[in-house]
Structure 1
Amino acid sequence: MNNIIKYGSISAIPLYNCSAHTPEEWSQKDGVQRPIVGIIEMTYGIVVNLLYIPMISVMMEKEQFKMSCFKIMTFLTIIDIFALTVNSIITGFLSYHGAVYCTYPNFIYISGMAGLGLWCCSCIIAMSLVTNRLLDLICPSVGAFFFDGNRTFLVLTLPVIYGLYFVFFTTPIAFSSKYLTWFFDPLIFEGKQSEYSNFPHFFNNIMVVAFTCCLYMVFCCALGAKLKNVDAGSAAQKTSTQIFFQSAMICAVNQVASVIYVSMNFIDVPFWLIVLGHVLWELGHGAPAFIYMNFNRTLRNGVLRKLGLKKSKVNASTAHHSGRTNVSTIH
């Protein structure tokens, strides 16, 4: 964004000047039409976003939303919806048409800024969520100091500021249908890859995501210690085991996607690895919808109720318990 302000328009930015060819010529030169992949990606993004809508409605019900973890989860879900719009729906559209950066330069540049900012913002929200749950488990008084009441919204301004930093002050990502993903290098000029480097993104993907995964492991260990005297095979122990595997799965998806995206912007990697990185980015924002529906009773019952498939309402104690175990620790 700072370069748009500096040069007056996207097309005037020297490193993003597409004047050498027409948009159609750029597509024919570097693009590959992928209609089947495009339809699959758009369908995935639309379906998951539609699934998220009733979930947000349930999260914002008074009984749930009074808890800090649900406030964080609601915000994270909204970010996931916008992120899926970029990495799945818009990506599917561009793949379908065989687009490259210079096919739709303004649209892709702005989408790339948004996609990058949303990813980095979601990383900090995920860190905030696990910190909230960890403090609630091992040091409730500190957790209350930071997250009680409307203080949660104050905490959530930090990931917003963090995400906006990437939008305004760092190199955006640009799409290429040839590789089915988004690179920092828009692939306009040969030999200038280093000029598009985004080291803040490198820091985010290596440090922030790794630190969040470490927090998840600490949380799981603390929860295990809390339940060590619980009988084997009990509901509490099963819940603990579920939390561990859910946390491990989400951390693995985000960490592998992060490492792949960092690697492919600095070194040549196989095409299949590039595609895997993009798929994991999509899953990182979409998988929580399926995890919530499978493992969280409060959200599952609430969504079924919203859809008219379940009449009974979860009582307050059940919602409270679910919010402090299943829901609050699976992202």
Structure 2
Amino acid sequence: MNEILKYGSIDKIPFYNCSAHTSQEWSALYGVSHPILGWLDVIFGVTVFYIPIILVMFQSEFYKMSCFKIMICLAIVDMSALVINSIITGILAIQGAVWCTYPKFNYIVGMIVLGLWCSSCIIVLILVSNRLLELSEHKLARMFIGNRPFLIMLAPFLYGLYFAVFTNPVGFNSKYYTWLFNPMISEIKTDKYINISHAVNNVAIVAITCILYVWLYLEVREKLEAIGWKDRKNDLGFQILVQSAMICSINFVASIIFVVMNIVELPIWIMFVAQKMWQLIHGAPVFIYLTLNRTIRKGFIKLFQEIKKVYHIPHPTTVSPQS
């Protein structure tokens, strides 16, 4: 965004100038159409349906817990990111689009999705920190009392806003089937597209996650020594702890891949894996909640049963001629 303000428009930014070819020519020269993979991405983005999960989390029995407030914010960010990294990605892949096919669109959407990614990283860390502080009964856990979690969520919002406004955006490239900082406009290598802030973000996420997991292990080990298997299995706090750990694990793997991908040139298949991991980061929580959190799963089923009752239309009674 700061480059747009500096030069007046996206077209006037020197290292994002696509005037060498028309949009159709850019796609024909450098793009690769992926109709099957594209449709699979669109289907994935559409079927990962967060709204019922969010509605369940807003129920009073869940909403009073601080971790659910954080999970609601994470769900909103994930749902927004899926629109871009799955649905829009699929559409662009079907067309065989590259950055210069839709330069303005890529620039704006790339800003947004980069901000969403960095925001989700911080929210996930806050979620795990919340579980750790409450499990350890640390005095800092008081910061999550009441509606304070929503105030804390201003931090990831501003953090993501920084990346969207002040750092280089990503753009989709169908040849590599992922979103890259380098728009591949010229074969001349340059460091103008390097996003150091993004690399620092990913490395920091990995480092902090490792530290938190050590603390997590120590706290869980202490707690599990004091309770039996049956109680542990039915404990809602433990269920949420497992879910938080799984979500963070996916972020951990994807962060490493994207850091390496931006340092050295990797095979296309690894970039493809990185793209799928990125989609999984934002889509996996739905399946984690529904498979591991029995409370949310029951609330989810109950919600659909209530909707079915509201819109249920009884079958008309058959009347015989004699009647």
Do they superpose with TM above 0.5?
Answer: yes
Kindly indicate whether residue 262 of structure 2 is the aligned counterpart of residue 265 of structure 1: yes
The one-letter amino acid of 1:88's match is S
* Preserved CA contact (<8 Å) 1:216 1:247: no
Kindly indicate whether residue 27 of structure 2 is the aligned counterpart of residue 27 of structure 1: yes
Match of 2:38 in 1: 38
Distance (Å, rounded) in 1 between the aligned partners of 2:113 and 2:217: 30
Match of 1:236 in 2: 232
Count matched residues: 307
1:164-203 to structure 2, matched below 5 A, reads 164-203=161-200
Which has the higher mean CA deviation after the structures are superposed, 267-276 or 213-222? Answer: 213-222
SS at 1:182's partner residue?
A: strand
1:232-311 to structure 2, matched below 5 A, reads 233-236=229-232, 246=243, 249-308=246-305
* Preserved CA contact (<8 Å) 1:304 1:310: no
Kindly indicate whether residue 233 of structure 2 is the aligned counterpart of residue 226 of structure 1: no
User: How far apart are 1:31 and its partner, in Å?
Assistant: 0.1
Kindly indicate whether residue 160 of structure 2 is the aligned counterpart of residue 163 of structure 1: yes
* Preserved CA contact (<8 Å) 1:117 1:165: yes
1:5-16 to structure 2, matched below 5 A, reads 5-16=5-16
Of 198, 202, 207, the residue aligned with 1:205 is: 202
Is the alpha carbon distance of 1:278 and 1:103 closer, same or farther for their aligned partners in structure 2, counting shifts above 3 Å?
same
The one-letter amino acid of 2:186's match is F
Is the alpha carbon distance of 1:302 and 1:241 closer, same or farther for their aligned partners in structure 2, counting shifts above 3 Å?
closer
Is the alpha carbon distance of 1:251 and 1:64 closer, same or farther for their aligned partners in structure 2, counting shifts above 3 Å?
closer
User: How far apart are 1:244 and its partner, in Å?
Assistant: 7.2
Distance (Å, rounded) in 2 between the aligned partners of 1:69 and 1:252: 18
Distance (Å, rounded) in 1 between the aligned partners of 2:10 and 2:301: 46
Distance (Å, rounded) in 1 between the aligned partners of 2:188 and 2:279: 30
Is the alpha carbon distance of 1:296 and 1:241 closer, same or farther for their aligned partners in structure 2, counting shifts above 3 Å?
closer
Q: CA RMSD in A?
A: 2.0
Distance (Å, rounded) in 1 between the aligned partners of 2:65 and 2:249: 27
Distance (Å, rounded) in 1 between the aligned partners of 2:278 and 2:193: 21
Is the alpha carbon distance of 1:306 and 1:193 closer, same or farther for their aligned partners in structure 2, counting shifts above 3 Å?
farther
Match of 1:106 in 2: 104
Match of 1:321 in 2: none
Question: TM-score, normalising length from structure 2?
Answer: 0.89
Is the alpha carbon distance of 1:305 and 1:217 closer, same or farther for their aligned partners in structure 2, counting shifts above 3 Å?
farther
Distance (Å, rounded) in 2 between the aligned partners of 1:281 and 1:213: 19
Distance (Å, rounded) in 2 between the aligned partners of 1:291 and 1:71: 17
SS at 1:77's partner residue?
A: helix
Is the alpha carbon distance of 1:243 and 1:281 closer, same or farther for their aligned partners in structure 2, counting shifts above 3 Å?
same
1:45-124 to structure 2, matched below 5 A, reads 45-48=45-48, 50=49, 52-124=50-122
User: How far apart are 1:64 and its partner, in Å?
Assistant: 1.5
Distance (Å, rounded) in 2 between the aligned partners of 1:243 and 1:59: 13
Question: TM-score, normalising length from structure 1?
Answer: 0.87
Match of 2:317 in 1: none
The one-letter amino acid of 2:207's match is A
